[in-house]
């Protein structure tokens, strides 16, 4: 697994960070803040271009070398001072050697005028692990996507159309690896005709590389003691068919509409997350839920665990879950900031329930995950953290915890651009005159874009009937807290889970029943949860005096799963037409198809979150809204393609089935 190495910082007496790895400064010793404004803002035509943005427009900056985040904070500050209120900034930055949170805090102390922004940044900075990490600030108006890892690997995974490039690696002579021809070609592939760039250096190799990639190169006075710097604009954008390793049938698809109106079907976590992410991008969203309130399906449990199962071999599933986990922690903390009783980031203990599980955990612990993400611990160490005695070793996830999922759904739906209609069942979808016409129990409702987030019920619509979504029944149980049980300070999980007390009760479970559709609470399922609880933690079982007659409530829900355990997030293709247009897949998986599939224009799905919806729905909602809006995607292309709804049909055809 690619590991993140430390930044290697030395501090000057002035408080300036210096990289010992590259023997170079992070910013000018003359005045870093003014340098950032001169080199990167002014010479990309900012803030004038911010002022001229249309309402709801998103401006995308990509930076090479996040460093201390100074350029990001300067851009954020300038954006809120100058851009129209509904315009948005997406700042994307690559970083191979991220600063730790304390290092970032120390470096940013140099700029008191940025204090309110730098505090928000340092509080939200993700655990350093390779991959894409998106943070959102100011109600989604400012987004920061960090591409952690070597830029040469992360940048080709970025799906974005960039408005301005900030080239800020260390000096080319000290860090030649960053200033390679691939960078300039990549820049061209991600740019449009008016895309600009600027950089502090005027090195010849950089000028030549940029010119060769089609950028105009202009030498202008540098900042402070630097004589020259360069900036310019792209003269010849790349043709539309940029080479990518992602098959054409698994690529993202933006909605082809000028009217930003969407309907979301389903008021659970995936529906409310999609609605919110669209609303934050300026869409007027109607959210339809068949039940009288939101979070009436799987998302309605009293306590859901924010925990992640990772694999040592860095699979797409593991990387997606890890990104979703960090994103969910960040978003839940923001969304429920005024409802601290509805969530707790108290940490999660994953107990090794068998020798095999222990070996798996050992492999994971040795795979090089940062200790802020997970640590292997003995039963004694875990008992200390849990506040109760535990008899097994396991993994400690300090960032995880539990949350009240209905509170998250309600907080997500609470946005001026979202209209919630409950008691509204959607019976069918029909495309008519560039719009979707929905037949519902409250009459016809229409919009150019529809997101189906109705879990396995998505398959009731003829356009989605082919998707392999299956329900799995699950029941959770609750027991009243006791003086002894209140000592539990963390979430416990293994083959089942148990949460610390919330509102005087503990939630634990949950059962798994395939092919069973009954929604009734069953005594035998409560018993199964009790048995699991006893295996998970005999001491908690005892502390709760856990007996069937003590169980005070329970709840049944249906997880919605897919065959590869990844959700379906993306556009919906016409199934029959795909069979015809991509028939060659049965003979030759590498056939050079030129055309995208025939999509049901404006129809998207966000479903199939299985047992992990708390960590995957929010990020998937953000991904889907970015895709629909044609904006930069918050996940790497290889992950995005593996979530594409067409993957099962194309895989079956490739296997000639
Ligand atoms: C027992 C149990 C325990 C779980 N524990 C955890 C956990 O600890 N951690 C974790 O990460 N995940 C957990 N999960 C999984 C997580 O709850 C789900 O992945 C997540 O809630 C899925 O959200 P969703 O919005 O996709 O589906 P749902 O929450 O089921 O939402 C779908 C919504 O669509 C509505 N709908 C359906 N058809 C229509 C229609 N035609 N018209 C209008 N509305 C319609 C439904 O009423 C429903 O409200 C658990 C799930 C279960 C069942
Ligand atoms: C001059 S500093 C950037 C300063 C930064 N923009 C700021 O506002 O503080 C250059 C950064 O590039 C990073 N870097 C160097 N080589 C890299 C690579 N190959 N891929 C990604 N980041 C790299 C360094 O770790 C360093 O943080």
Task: List pLDDT tens digits, range 6-57.
Answer: 899 999 988 899 999 999 999 888 899 999 999 999 999 999 999 999 999 9
Q: Is 135 within a domain?
A: yes
Q: Is 324 within a domain?
A: no
- Domain edge (last residue) among 561, 593, 618: 561
Q: Can you tell me which residue has the tokens 């874009």?
A: 449
Q: What phi and psi, each to the nearest 5 degrees, are found at residue 18?
A: -130, 140
Confidence at residue 245, expressed as pLDDT on a 0 to 100 scale? 80
- Least confident piece of the model among 125-129, 131-135, 251-255, 304-308: 125-129
Rounded to whole angstroms, the Cα distance separating 103 from 6 reads 11
214 and 139 in a common domain: yes
Band (240; pLDDT cuts 50, 70, 90): low
Residues in Cβ contact with 313 at an 8 Å cutoff, skipping those fewer than 6 apart: 1, 367
CATH of the domain at 183: 3.40.50.150
28 and 120 in a common domain: yes
The residue-averaged pLDDT of 319-343 equals 97
Rounded to whole angstroms, the Cα distance separating 238 from 191 reads 8
**Cβ atoms 300, 406 nearer than 8 A:** yes
| Residues facing 344 on adjacent strands | 402
Confidence at residue 174, expressed as pLDDT on a 0 to 100 scale? 95
Q: Is 290 within a domain?
A: yes
- Domain edge (last residue) among 497, 526, 561: 561
Q: What phi and psi, each to the nearest 5 degrees, are found at residue 454?
A: -105, 35
The C-alpha R_g of the chain, in whole angstroms, comes to: 26
**Cβ atoms 559, 474 nearer than 8 A:** yes
Domain count, the chain: 3
Instruction: Compute CA distances 108 → 6, 99, 196, whole Å.
Output: 18, 11, 27
Pick the residue whose CA is nearest to atom 11 on ligand 2.
65
484 and 464 in a common domain: no
Confidence at residue 313, expressed as pLDDT on a 0 to 100 scale? 86
Q: Is 333 within a domain?
A: no
Q: What phi and psi, each to the nearest 5 degrees, are found at residue 262?
A: -140, 155
The residue-averaged pLDDT of 238-266 equals 88
pLDDT digits (tens, 9 = 90+) for 67-108: 999 999 999 999 999 999 999 999 999 999 999 999 999 999
**Cβ atoms 35, 229 nearer than 8 A:** no
432 and 375 in a common domain: no
Average pLDDT value for the chain:
95
Pick the residue whose CA is nearest to atom 1 on ligand 1.
474
Name the residue of 275, 297, 643 to mutate for ligand 1: max ligand atoms within 8 A of Cβ: 297
The residue-averaged pLDDT of 641-652 equals 97
Rounded to whole angstroms, the Cα distance separating 622 from 299 reads 18
Write the DSSP string, 178-243: GS-HHHHHHHHHTEEEEEEEEES---HHHHHHHHHTTB--EEEE-STT--EEEEEEBSSPPPS---
Q: What angle do CA 400, 153, 182 make, to 5 degrees?
A: 150
Rounded to whole angstroms, the Cα distance separating 244 from 252 reads 12
Whether 508 has a pLDDT exceeding 80, the answer reads yes
Half-sphere exposure of 213 (CA within 13 A, CB side): 28
Q: What tokens were used for 201? A: 């250096």
490 and 391 in a common domain: yes
**Strands 88-95, 58-64: parallel, antiparallel or unpaired by DSSP?**
parallel
Instruction: Compute CA distances 437 → 93, 159, 551, 644, whole Å.
Output: 41, 31, 46, 24
| Residues facing 514 on adjacent strands | 472
Band (573; pLDDT cuts 50, 70, 90): very high
Name the residue of 28, 65, 177 to mutate for ligand 2: max ligand atoms within 8 A of Cβ: 65
187 and 83 in a common domain: yes
Whether 323 has a pLDDT exceeding 60, the answer reads yes
Handedness of CA 372, 374, 380, 384 (dihedral sign): positive
Confidence at residue 241, expressed as pLDDT on a 0 to 100 scale? 53
460 and 568 in a common domain: yes
Q: What angle do CA 386, 389, 393 make, to 5 degrees?
A: 75
Q: Is 455 within a domain?
A: yes
Handedness of CA 271, 273, 274, 276 (dihedral sign): positive
Rounded to whole angstroms, the Cα distance separating 623 from 643 reads 10
Nearest to 329 by CA among 136, 498, 569: 136
CATH of the domain at 637: 3.50.50.60
Whether 317 has a pLDDT exceeding 90, the answer reads yes
Pick the residue whose CA is nearest to atom 10 on ligand 1.
612
Confidence at residue 29, expressed as pLDDT on a 0 to 100 scale? 81
Residues in Cβ contact with 382 at an 8 Å cutoff, skipping those fewer than 6 apart: 349, 351, 390, 392, 393, 394, 396
Q: Can you tell me which residue has the tokens 């509805």?
A: 342
Ligand 1: which residues within 6 Å by Cβ? 265-271, 288-291, 296-299, 301, 304-305, 425-426, 453-455, 457, 474, 476, 509-510, 557-560, 607, 609-615, 617
Q: Is 309 within a domain?
A: no
Confidence at residue 570, expressed as pLDDT on a 0 to 100 scale? 98
605 and 485 in a common domain: no
Whether 286 has a pLDDT exceeding 90, the answer reads yes
Q: Is 331 within a domain?
A: no
211 and 115 in a common domain: yes
189 and 266 in a common domain: no
264 and 366 in a common domain: no
Band (5; pLDDT cuts 50, 70, 90): confident
549 and 462 in a common domain: no
Beta strand ranges found along 501-656 (DSSP E): 505-509, 513-514, 553-561, 568-573, 599-607
Residues in Cβ contact with 551 at an 8 Å cutoff, skipping those fewer than 6 apart: 477, 478, 479, 526, 530
Confidence at residue 238, expressed as pLDDT on a 0 to 100 scale? 78
User: Is any atom of ligand 2 closer than 6 Å to the C-beta of 538?
Assistant: no
Q: What angle do CA 535, 541, 542 make, to 5 degrees?
A: 130
Whether 483 has a pLDDT exceeding 60, the answer reads yes
- Domain edge (last residue) among 544, 561, 578: 561
User: Is any atom of ligand 2 closer than 6 Å to the C-beta of 492?
Assistant: no
Instruction: Compute CA distances 598 → 576, 579, 595, 602, 656, whole Å.
Output: 10, 11, 9, 12, 21
Q: How many residues does the chain have?
A: 657
Q: Is 615 within a domain?
A: yes
Closest ligand 2 atom to residue 68 Cα is: 9
The residue-averaged pLDDT of 528-557 equals 96
pLDDT digits (tens, 9 = 90+) for 137-195: 999 999 999 999 999 999 999 999 999 999 998 999 999 999 999 999 999 999 999 99
Nearest to 267 by CA among 144, 374, 408: 408
Whether 204 has a pLDDT exceeding 70, the answer reads yes
Rounded to whole angstroms, the Cα distance separating 20 from 10 reads 6
The residue range of the domain holding 613 is: 254-296+407-469+563-654
The answer to whether the pTM exceeds 0.85 is yes
CATH of the domain at 372: 3.30.9.10
Cis amide bond preceding 47, omega within 30 = yes
């Amino acid at each position: 697994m690619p590991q993140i190495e430390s930044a290697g910082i030395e501090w000057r007496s002035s408080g300036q960070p210096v990289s010992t790895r590259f023997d170079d400064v992070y910013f000018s010793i003359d005045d870093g803040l003014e340098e950032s404004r001169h080199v990167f803002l002014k010479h990309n035509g900012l803030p004038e271009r911010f002022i001229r943005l249309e309402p709801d427009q998103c401006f995308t900056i990509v930076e090479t070398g996040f460093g201390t985040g100074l350029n990001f904070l300067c851009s954020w500050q300038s954006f809120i001072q100058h851009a129209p209120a509904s315009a948005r900034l997406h700042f994307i930055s690559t970083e191979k050697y991220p600063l730790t949170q304390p290092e970032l805090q120390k470096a940013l102390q140099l700029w008191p005028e940025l204090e309110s922004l730098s505090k928000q940044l340092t509080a939200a900075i993700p655990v350093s692990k390779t991959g894409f990490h998106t943070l959102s600030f100011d109600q989604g108006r400012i987004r920061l996507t960090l591409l952690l890892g070597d830029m040469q690997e992360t940048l080709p995974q970025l799906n974005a159309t960039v408005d301005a490039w900030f080239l800020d690696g260390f000096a080319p002579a000290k860090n030649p690896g960053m200033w390679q021809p691939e960078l300039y070609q990549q820049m061209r592939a991600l740019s449009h005709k008016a895309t600009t760039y600027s950089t502090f250096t005027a090195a010849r190799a950089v000028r030549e590389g940029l010119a060769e990639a089609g950028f105009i190169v202009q030498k202008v006075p540098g900042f402070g003691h630097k004589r020259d710097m360069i900036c310019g604009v792209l003269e010849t954008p790349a043709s539309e068919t940029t080479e990518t390793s992602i098959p054409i049938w698994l690529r993202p698809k933006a909605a082809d509409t000028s009217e930003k109106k969407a309907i979301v079907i389903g008021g659970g976590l995936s529906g409310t997350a999609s609605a919110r992410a669209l609303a934050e991008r300026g869409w007027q969203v109607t959210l339809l839920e068949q039940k009288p309130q939101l979070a009436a399906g799987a998302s309605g449990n009293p306590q859901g665990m924010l925990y992640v199962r990772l694999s040592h071999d860095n699979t797409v599933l593991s990387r997606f879950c890890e990104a979703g986990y960090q994103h969910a922690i960040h978003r839940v903390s923001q969304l429920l900031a005024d409802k601290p009783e509805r969530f707790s980031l108290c940490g999660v203990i994953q107990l090794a329930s068998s020798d095999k599980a222990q070996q798996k955990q050992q492999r994971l612990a040795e795979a090089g995950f940062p200790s802020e993400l997970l640590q292997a611990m003995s039963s004694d160490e875990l008992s200390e953290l849990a506040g109760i005695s535990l008899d097994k070793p396991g993994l400690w996830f300090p960032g995880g915890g539990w949350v009240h999922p209905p509170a998250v759904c309600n907080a997500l739906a609470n946005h001026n651009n979202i209209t919630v209609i409950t008691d509204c069942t959607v019976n069918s979808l029909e495309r008519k005159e560039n719009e979707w016409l929905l037949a519902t129990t409250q009459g016809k409702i229409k919009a150019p874009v529809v997101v189906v987030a109705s879990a396995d019920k998505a398959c009731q619509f003829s356009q989605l009937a082919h998707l392999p979504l299956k329900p799995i029944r699950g029941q959770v149980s609750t027991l009243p807290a006791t003086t002894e049980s209140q000592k539990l300070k963390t979430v416990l999980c293994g083959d089942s889970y148990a949460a610390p007390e919330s509102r005087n009760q503990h939630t634990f479970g949950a059962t798994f029943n395939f092919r069973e559709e009954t929604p009734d609470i069953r005594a035998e399922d409560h018993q199964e949860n009790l048995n699991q609880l006893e295996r998970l933690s005999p001491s908690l079982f005892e502390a709760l005096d856990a007996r069937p007659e003590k169980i005070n409530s329970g709840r049944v829900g249906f997880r919605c799963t897919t065959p590869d355990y990844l959700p379906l997030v993306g556009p919906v293709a016409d199934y029959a037409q795909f069979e015809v247009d991509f028939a060659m897949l049965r003979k030759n998986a590498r056939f050079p198809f030129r055309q995208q599939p025939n999509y049901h224009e404006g129809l998207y799905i966000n479903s199939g979150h299985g047992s992990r919806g708390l960590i995957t729905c929010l990020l998937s909602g953000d991904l889907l809204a970015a895709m629909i809006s044609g904006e930069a995607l918050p996940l790497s292309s290889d992950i995005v393609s593996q979530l594409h709804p067409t993957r099962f049909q194309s895989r079956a055809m490739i296997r000639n089935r």
